[in-house]
Structure 1
Amino acid sequence: MQFRARGREFTLLALAVGVVWTAACSISETQVGRAHFAQHKSLGVAELWDPCVGIPENILHDAGFDPETKDNQAESAKGKGDKGCRWRGGHGELNAFSHTLPLRQLADTAGFLSGSEPVTIDDRAATETRDPARNTCGVGFDTTEGTVFLEVTNHSPLTVDDSCAQVAELARRLHVHLPAY
């Protein structure tokens, strides 16, 4: 659009620069990660990070899960486009999956992030979910290779807080083994 009055051209240009500047300054690390992820959303399931081979046995063992109980047929994200794995331990189980969709889009599709909140695992942005009725707590990460989600379910007498502490510690130890963000 062209305006004949010079003052209007300048006002519109200044307004446009201000909008772009404000948007650029308000982008968070998570949004940058999502924008970076958007470049990779043509990934197929075959290219996803595989939790069954990507989680070291010593970390599983140290977290109280038996590497020998690995179940790579575990239902993971309620749909296609994912890889999942499950391990059992003395007090509960660990479910881990990766998915081709970004975390927020996956959550909207699968409906599992109600009651979630942003957390930071070391220097990495994540989302924590809690389900007190199931004694379950999860941590999800957006990565350049899709979403990675870790979920711990403990049996009584342990509580959802115990599950959250366990999955947070597991995520701290694992985040260096996860795809880039």
Structure 2
Amino acid sequence: MRHQVMMGVVAAMVVPGLIACSANGNEIPKSNAVSATLWDPCYGISDDVLRTAGLLPATKDSGITRSLHDRQKICRWDAPESAYSVTVFSADETVTETELKPWNVDFQDVTLAGRAGRRFKIAGDSKPFGCNVLFAAEQGAIQIHVFIDPSLVEREQPCQRLDLVGRSIVPVLPR
């Protein structure tokens, strides 16, 4: 049950604000992004990388937004005992398009595993359970979202966990 509630919260927070590209001048024109084949995180991130990131490969869930499969690919994995989950979104939107959505706020430049990205929050999200980072990619962008079990937020912040998980995952993301 807790897993279902967490997935509902993740979907409500993240799905409206899906992915993008970079506002630092490296943005790919939309016409190129749409024509590119979307990278699939369920197959593009190896089990070894997931284990190094502290995730359980057997918890893979690729069906969380089947109706949007033409414009995005999404995959989610849990950590042991569902302490946190990581969702990777691959989409044809750009970072700029994501930044223009009114529900995505407080964008900041970050560097994670040597790659420039944009960290952001969801407007109205009063609880610090999730953290999002976008990375530019030829197809559009890749987003990593970490969701911490609400009972554990006092001990660990989601953006700190994303930084740790990102050390393993970011290097295998497409550019």
Structure 1 residues 152 and 84: alpha-carbon distance in aligned structure 2, compared to 1, 3 A threshold: same
- In structure 2, the residue corresponding to 1:93 is in which secondary structure? strand
Shift of the alpha carbon at 1:159?
4.6
Contact preservation (8 Å) 1:87, 1:95: yes
Shift of the alpha carbon at 1:66?
1.1
How many angstroms apart in 1 are the aligned matches of 2:159 and 2:115? 17
Shift of the alpha carbon at 1:96?
0.8
Aligned to 2:143: 149
Q: Moved runs in structure 1, 4+ residues, more than 6 A?
A: none
Which of the pair has the greater relative contact order for Cα pairs under 8 Å at 6+ separation?
Answer: 2
Task: Give the structure-2-normalised TM-score.
Answer: 0.71
Contact preservation (8 Å) 2:128, 2:157: no
Contact preservation (8 Å) 1:59, 1:174: yes
Contact preservation (8 Å) 1:33, 1:143: no
Counterpart residue identity of residue 32, structure 1: G
Aligned-residue sequence identity (percent) comes to 24
Pairwise CA RMSD = 2.8
- Give the unaligned 5+ runs of structure 1: 1-28
Aligned to 2:34: 42
Aligned to 1:173: 168
Match of 2:115 among 97, 116, 124: 124
Counterparts of 1:88-127 in structure 2 under 5 Å?
Answer: 88-89=78-79, 90=81, 91-109=83-101, 111-127=102-118
Task: Give the structure-1-normalised TM-score.
Answer: 0.69
Structure 1 residues 135 and 101: alpha-carbon distance in aligned structure 2, compared to 1, 3 A threshold: same
Larger % of strand: which?
A: 2
Matched, 1:64 2:59: no
Matched, 1:84 2:77: no
Match of 2:26 among 28, 33, 37: 33
Which of these two proteins has the greater Rg computed from alpha carbons? 1
1:22-66 alpha-carbon deviations (Å, 9 max, x no partner): xxxxxxx853311xx11622325xx11111011121222233321
Structure 1 residues 122 and 71: alpha-carbon distance in aligned structure 2, compared to 1, 3 A threshold: closer
- In structure 2, the residue corresponding to 1:68 is in which secondary structure? strand
1:149-180 alpha-carbon deviations (Å, 9 max, x no partner): 01010112235962111212222322221112
Contact preservation (8 Å) 1:132, 1:160: no
